[in-house]
Amino acid sequence: MMTIKEYRRVQSLEEAWELNQKKRNRVIGGMLWLKMGNGSIQTAIDLSNLGMDKIEETEEEYRIGCMVSLRELEENQGLADYTQGALKEALRHIVGVQFRNLATVGGSIYGKFGFSDVLTMFLVMDSYVELYKHGIIPLREYAANDYGRDILIRIIVKKTKASYIYQSVRNSKTDFPVLACAAAKTEAGKYLFSVGARPARAILLLDEENLLEEKAGEVEAEAFAAYAKKKIVTGTNIRGSAEYRTHLTGVLLKRAILRLA
């Protein structure tokens, strides 16, 4: 059982940051994953008083506060339209509505969980995180590097025109994915892929060898899938073997390419 000695609903980001510098203190998002552990927390830092539970839309971008729930994200019409339903598809298989009403987007992104559908999806969008001390950083850099005990304020998604597709394979409904795959094709014809639940943290894969540059038909998709299977490292856990995951990587990427073409 997780234990908490003190609870603080902070009044400012500075207060949150200062408290968070102590190793035994923790920011609590939705607390879904945190609760599963046996950790002993000195002070639980609650950001829910800072008004960071809103999705703001401007001409150029979406600004998603860290305390926005996965359910709010899923129900947001603007983001659903912008991603042609892909964001909704990434979220709707996560446990249940009651779970998604609690789980926060900040918790998902900050945790960089290996099983995260959320991180997998955001990686193929033109996404940035805004950190209290480090400022605005592209999500792909944030996902790949350590930014210490900073405070995640919001996620910013630029409205770069693109087509999106999200797919995941699950052994049973509502379970963690065996493999998750997001894909995007920008208006300029560039492809972005991300593969999550490898079961390690989601990573981004670009078409660096220009396999899809001129045409993306059956042959090119097959060639890219073979390339991706070599590039994307997978592992084994209770839900599936590395070999199976690598096979799925090829299948899902090929399907994504053919559907985006």
Does residue number 39 form part of the binding site for another protein (CB under 8 A)?
Answer: no
Q: Would you say 60 or 175 has its CB closer to another protein? A: 175
| Binding to another protein, residues 187-226 (CB under 8 A) | none
Q: What is the DSSP letter of 166?
A: E
Does residue number 38 form part of the binding site for another protein (CB under 8 A)?
Answer: no
CA atoms of 238 and 54, how far apart (whole Å): 37
The one segment of 44-52, 178-186, 225-233, 247-255 that binds another protein by CB under 8 A: 44-52
Q: Enter the tokens of residue 106.
A: 């900040």
The one segment of 23-31, 57-65, 114-122, 139-147 that binds another protein by CB under 8 A: 23-31
| 76 to 95: interface string for another protein, x by CB under 8 A | ----------------x--x
CA distances (Å), origin 214, targets 9, 207, 210, 237: 54, 12, 8, 38
Partners of 193 in the β-ladder: 183, 205
Does residue number 36 form part of the binding site for another protein (CB under 8 A)?
Answer: yes
Q: How would you classify the pairing of strands 127-131 and 55-57?
A: unpaired
**Residue whose C-alpha is closest to residue 7's, from 46, 52, 54:** 46
Near another protein by CB under 8 A: residue from 99, 132, 147, 244: 99
Report yes or no: 197 and 135 within 8 Å, Cβ to Cβ: no
Near another protein by CB under 8 A: residue from 96, 189, 217, 235: 96
Does residue number 174 form part of the binding site for another protein (CB under 8 A)?
Answer: yes
CA distances (Å), origin 17, targets 41, 135, 141, 150, 260: 16, 13, 21, 6, 42
Near another protein by CB under 8 A: residue from 15, 18, 61, 102: 102
**Contact footprint for another protein (CB under 8 A):** 2-7, 28, 30-32, 35-36, 44, 46, 48, 71, 92, 95-99, 101-102, 173-174
